[in-house]
Amino acid sequence: MRISPRAGERIVKVLIWAAAMLVMAVLVFIVAYILAKGLHVIDWRFLASAPSNMGRSGGISTTIIGTLMVTVTAVVIAAPLGIGTAFYLAEYTRENFVTKIIRFSAESLAGIPSIVYGLFGLIFFVVYLDMRWSVLSGGLTLALMILPTVIRTSEEAIKAVPYIYREVSFSLGATKWQTIIKAVFPSALRGIANGILLSVGRCIAETAAVILTAGSTLRMPTSLFSPTRTMAVHFYILAREGISMENAYGTAALLIILIFLINVVANTLINRFVAKSR
Amino acid sequence: MTEPGQKAKLETKDLHLYYGAYHALRDITMDIPERAITAIIGPSGCGKSSLLRVFNRMNDLIPGASVRGEVLLDGAPVYGKDTDAVTLRKKVGMVFQRPDVFPMSIYDNVVIGPRHHGIRRRRRLDEIAEKSLTRAALWDEVKDILKKPGSSLAPGQQQRLCIARALAVEPDVILMDESCSALDPESTMKIEELMLDLAEKYTIIIVTHNMEQARRVSDMSAFMMIDENKVGTLVEYAPTMRLFANPKDKRTEDYITGRFG
């Protein structure tokens, strides 16, 4: 039996639509389920007070601070390194043996499971460099983990800037550095920022790499050298050890909200910046 | 080969250009007169743009590009050991084929060059912006919307903005690489009028596909073609009136009478 082209077209359309809807539905279900289970736990007390009794009671303030400290450390280290590498690859060198090695390394690093980063961080930062379990060890480990993403997305963003901008800039007597800062960077900024945002999300959500390098203490971190427990780790421990499913869902809900908020705020800032420089 | 009494602004002597092993330009010798418009014409792929980009060393950006022979600006070597390409490009500005304004305001587009060269004072930048936009015949149209994005202008205005941007650096020479080919006839006419105005103060070299344009605006015309080895050569270089009225070379005649190209 033959299907008419029209009917075939309709069937394909319905199938594609169904696939998209299914993906949406799964996402919505996960988020809605966690919010439904966890949202009612979240109040000012939950946000502002320290956990007590292993996290069975009290809030999660120390883990929020720990998450932010570890994430900020990771991004502050990885962003300049990654963006710098991307500019080197895209603007300062031609395809050669070295760039191939850098790219190959970055791609290989991107495929390594996070627990391996955790193990490396434990051996290298925590033990060998004697940084102990600390915000710094965790941040450095996460920095390594997100570096390939930052490099990749930044390089793509830089390469997407029309070549003519560089020519125009040089023709006006700009140096290479001025060309990069004034003609290329502003146009690549949105793409670079998106890559970093993606990385921030991964840092906040990371468990395996952090639990091995930043520790899991519930005490409030006071410096880069304090051990800490991040929200994702807290959630993992609460759920795995059966300490409090209620608080575990509360933490998970807050994680989702936090990532959502960061995305909204960052996008607003980028939009404002881009609009200003236009 | 310049008109009597006119000084050569740019000279090339036995110039060859290579992109790696590829021979792009062969044996080009020409004197480009000061404060005049010189048009480079010829069929696609004959090396017109390559020659234009020799003058501001834009070919330096292409890996493997090398130049043999001599290029002089005001008698000083363009490819000398002590010549800095960045400094050279302040004297030799360029306007490109498409109006490629930067994604920033009209004002910022104009003063980006001066800013690169260390001018920071607001009042000085304002003066430069007004002067450059006035010279580019755009000031009256944009003086009230300087903060608007450059991309909000019509294509013809954008191209004049690009000219203003090049003028803001205060060059002596302006290279125009088919700067009207993306524009409608009316905008093209405005730019041509502007070229004629600017030629009183600047040395202008245009590359154009449009023979009528060369005939309308230029004082000197250079006709280029590829030879049997596919290398770009200068076939004939003469005052425009003479070249079009009485071409000496058979190939020039065939081209300008529309027999090929």
The complex's ipTM works out to 0.89
Q: pLDDT by residue (tens digit) across B69-88?
A: 999 999 889 998 888 889 99
Lowest mean pLDDT among A51-60, B1-10, B113-122, B183-192: B1-10
- For position A276, what pLDDT does the model report? 60
Chain A residue numbers with beta carbons less than 8 Å from the beta carbon of B93 are 171-172
Tell me the β-bridge partners of B174. Answer: B93, B204
CA distance B87 to chain A (A): 6
With CA atoms as reference, report the closest residue to A181 among A91, A85, A93, A94. A91
Give the tokens for residue A180. 């990069």
Angle CA B181–B185–B190, to nearest 5:
90
Q: What pLDDT was estimated at residue A275? A: 67
User: Any chain B CB within 8 A of the CB of A165?
Assistant: yes
Using the predicted structure, report yes or no on whether residue B261 has a pLDDT greater than 80: no
Using CA atoms, how far residue B95 sits from A78, A121, A178, B151, B204, in Å, is 39, 53, 19, 16, 11
- Give the end-to-end CA distance of chain B in Å, rounded to a whole number: 26
Share of chain B above pLDDT 70, in %: 97
Q: Does A160 touch chain B (CB under 8 A)?
A: no
Q: Report the C-alpha gap between B129 and A192 in whole angstroms.
A: 31
Question: Which among A94, A165, A171 has CB closest to B58?
Answer: A171
Residues 64-103 of B with CB under 8 A from A: 86-87, 89-90, 93-94, 96, 98, 100, 102-103
- Summarised one tens digit per residue, pLDDT across range A113-149 is 999 999 999 999 988 998 889 989 999 999 999 999 9
pTM: 0.82
* DSSP codes of every residue in A233-247: HHHHHHHHTTS-HHH
Question: Does domain B8-100+172-256 correspond to CATH entry 3.40.50.300?
Answer: yes
Residues of B in contact with A188 (CB under 8 A): none
What is the DSSP pairing of strand B37-41 with strand B8-19?
unpaired
Please give the Cα distance from B196 to B28 (Å, whole number): 26
How far, in Å, are B18, B174, B182 from residue B190 at the CA level?
36, 17, 14
Q: Per-residue confidence at B1, pLDDT binned at 50, 70, 90? A: very low
Domain ranges in chain B are 8-100+172-256
Chain A residue whose CA is closest to B64: A94
What is the CB-side half-sphere exposure of residue B250 using CA atoms within 13 A? Answer: 0
What's the pLDDT tens digit per position in B176-220? Answer: 999 888 888 888 888 899 999 899 999 999 999 888 899 999 999
Q: d(Cα A215, Cα A135) in Å, to the nearest integer? A: 9
Q: Give the pair of three-digit tokens for residue B27.
A: 């044996």
Indicate the residue of A162, A171, A174 with minimum beta-carbon distance to B93: A171
| Band of residue A2 on the pLDDT scale cut at 50, 70, 90 | confident
Query: A4 CB near a chain B CB, below 8 Å?
Result: no
Tokens (6 digits) for B8: 């050569």
For residues B234 and B224, is the Cβ–Cβ distance under 8 A?
yes
- Assess contact for A135 and A228: CB atoms under 8 A: yes
* Contacts across the A-B interface (CB distance below 8 Å): 65
Q: How far apart are CA B133 and CA A153, in angstroms?
A: 38
Helix H or strand E segment including B52: helix B48-55
CA separation for the pair B232, B234 (Å, rounded): 7
Between CA B35 and CA B199 the distance in angstroms is 5
Cβ–Cβ contact B38 with A under 8 A: no
Domain boundaries, chain A: 5-41, 44-277
Cβ–Cβ below 8 Å for A178 and B116: yes
**B89, B100, B151 ranked by CB distance to A170: nearest:** B89
Is the domain covering A44-277 a CATH 1.10.3720.10 domain? yes
* Region A37-55 average pLDDT: 85
- Give the residue from chain B lying closest to A169, CA to CA: B113
Q: What is the mean pLDDT of chain A?
A: 89
Which tokens is B174 given? 């302006």
User: pLDDT per residue over A152-189, tens digit each?
Assistant: 999 999 999 998 999 999 999 999 999 999 889 988 98
Closest residue in chain A to residue B151, using alpha carbons only: A278
CA-based nearest distance A78→chain B, Å: 28
The Cα–Cα gap between B73 and B184 comes to: 34
What's the CA gap between B89 and B91, in Å, rounded?
5
CA–CA separation, B161 and B168 (whole Å): 10
Q: Is the pLDDT of residue B62 over 90?
A: no
**Cα separations (Å) of B139 from B130, B131, B135, B261?**
7, 8, 8, 38
**Taking CB atoms and an 8 Å limit, are A172 and B166 in contact across chains?**
yes
Q: pLDDT at position B56, please?
A: 93
For the residues of A180-199, what is the DSSP string, one character each? Answer: IIIIIHHHHHHHHHHHHHHH
